[in-house]
Amino acid sequence: MAGGVSSDARRTAGVPLYVDRASGARLWDVDGNVYIDYVLGQGPALLGHCPPAVVEAVSAQVARGIVYSAQHAAEARVAERLCAMVPSAERVRFNTVGSEAAHAAWRLARGFTGRPKILKFEGHYHGWLDPVLYSVHPSLDDAGPQDHPRAVPGTAGQPPATDLVICPWNDLEALARLMDEHAGQIAAVVTEPVLCNTGAIEPDPGYLQGVRELCDRHGSLLIFDEIITGFRLAPGGAQEYLGVSPDLSVFGKAMAGGMQVSALAGRAAVMDAISSGKVAHAGTFNSQPVGIAAAEATLRILDEQREEVYGTLYARGRQLMTGLREAAAKVGVPMLVGGPGPVFQTYFTDAPAVRDYRDFAGTDRAMMARLHAALLDRGINMVPRGLWFLSTAHTEADVAATVGVFEDALRSLALG
């Protein structure tokens, strides 16, 4: 395998982690080591690994059929539940992975509005496809001025960026100025409502409301990329958590308990451009029945047991965030812990807050990579850049053990 892994997201400073099995909040690697897992498949395992209801639903569906290339009743039920749970969702189309759903949203926005340009924010990730992989984690030497960032490709082999406007996040003045400069041309403004691919950065109070107002004023659609935040922060996603409704949203990861399902959802008037055939949307494995069975089982739990599920997620998140802050203070290492709770980020920095990509780029990411390696050696698995995901399978004892290991790892780095 190229690089020994099947996705660049799995590259680490040391040897790639090869997993034998997973259950609840734990992974077992091929050498028999056990890890308390805060990666959770990059977020999908919201209910922990192999939740019994999802395993049962998937096993039953495999015996009934794996792929149909036809409609089936379960996808209609999942679409109905998703529309009932998500504030802005009136119509749904399913995909397999988040990059596909995000790509579909951009195409739909252009097709619906007849406008060519998409405005995206620096530091935000919307998949690895060519049109969108710009200015995610660019070198600040290449990124251009703070108020007018350049579109920096994320990889060799990408064509030049066309019809793409890059904007700093959490800066309404910059957004207003850029939308005025490109008036009548911007089909959509696309944002992660909580920036989870660059830390776990929440919007400033009133920021997303201001983005919504600017989109309405300019006739541009607002797209929320909820691939990570969807169903993790609330049953209705970040849009419920933050009280702002977009025109289109994309979901994935946590919606199917670990199976590969994503969705594009939004206002009927916009989605009907797909219904009519004006905007093309296809895929052999869209609404694949095994994945949809997992989504149906997962969303039923998240919807019908919402108080228990989200109460647990936020309680464990607060407990772990507080414990990590106290551990860093005890060791004397300057560290910031920020985020909603069910997902959060640790940063090595003296800054009081991280509000955008350039703040994130100023943190000590080399130190974070060393911490990741030290934790992995001690049986704790977090996302290498410092992101932590919680699940309902994590216990108070897991969190307490993690804090103790974290303090020991920090001391080893401070002394090293």
Instruction: Look at residue 13 and tell me whether its pLDDT is greater than 70.
Output: no
Residues 254 and 318 in one domain: no
The residue with greater pLDDT, 69 or 219, is: 219
Picking from 256, 273, 302, the residue at the C-terminal end of a domain is: 302
Instruction: Look at residue 8 and tell me whether its pLDDT is greater than 90.
Output: no
In terms of Cβ atoms closer than 10 Å to its own Cβ (0-12, 13-18, 19+), residue 378 is middle
Decide if 217 contacts 185 (C-beta within 8 A).
no
Residues 190 and 202 in one domain: yes
Residues 159 and 293 in one domain: yes
pTM of the full structure? 0.96
Q: At what angle do helices 396-415 and 365-377 cross, to 10 degrees?
A: 120
Give the pair of three-digit tokens for residue 185. 């041309």
Does 253 qualify as catalytic in the annotation? yes
Of the candidates 253, 310, 347, 356, the residue annotated as catalytic is: 253
Of the candidates 225, 356, 359, 398, the residue annotated as catalytic is: 225
Q: Which residue from 336, 398, 323, 326 is spatially nearest to 367, judged by alpha carbons?
A: 336
Q: Which domain holds residue 347?
A: 2-51+306-415
Q: How many CB atoms lie within 10 A of CB 283?
A: 15
Residues 150 and 258 in one domain: yes
**Measured distance CA(81)–CA(77) in Å, rounded:** 6
Q: Which residue from 20, 96, 103, 408 is spatially nearest to 280, judged by alpha carbons?
A: 103
Hey, which residues does 134 pair with through a beta bridge? Answer: 153
Residues 86 and 135 in one domain: yes
pLDDT tens, residue by residue, 300-318: 999 999 999 999 999 999 9
For the segment 29-33, the average pLDDT, to the nearest whole number, is: 96
Ramachandran category for residue 380: left, alpha or beta (phi over 0 → left; psi -120 to 50 → alpha): beta
Does 68 qualify as catalytic in the annotation? no
Residues 10 and 87 in one domain: no
For the segment 384-408, the average pLDDT, to the nearest whole number, is: 97
pLDDT score, position 10: 79
Lowest-confidence segment of 176-185, 295-304, 406-415 by average pLDDT:
406-415
Picking from 270, 302, 334, the residue at the C-terminal end of a domain is: 302
Residues 316 and 380 in one domain: yes
Instruction: Look at residue 416 and tell me whether its pLDDT is greater than 80.
Output: no
Total number of domains in the chain: 2
Residues 327 and 269 in one domain: no
pLDDT score, position 1: 86
Residues 133 and 41 in one domain: no
Does 278 qualify as catalytic in the annotation? no
Give the CA diameter of the chain. Answer: 64
CATH number of the domain encompassing residue 184? 3.40.640.10
Decide if 323 contacts 329 (C-beta within 8 A).
no
Percent of the chain with pLDDT over 90: 94
pLDDT tens, residue by residue, 234-290: 999 999 999 999 999 999 999 999 999 999 999 999 999 999 999 999 999 899 999
Strands 262-266 and 248-251 come out as: antiparallel
Residues 180 and 290 in one domain: yes
Residues 44 and 60 in one domain: no
CATH number of the domain encompassing residue 365? 3.90.1150.10
Of the candidates 125, 207, 310, 347, the residue annotated as catalytic is: 125
- Distances from the Cα of 34 to the Cα of 18, 19, 405, angstroms: 12, 10, 14
Q: Mean pLDDT, the chain, as a whole number?
A: 96
Picking from 302, 320, 351, the residue at the C-terminal end of a domain is: 302
Residues 182 and 312 in one domain: no
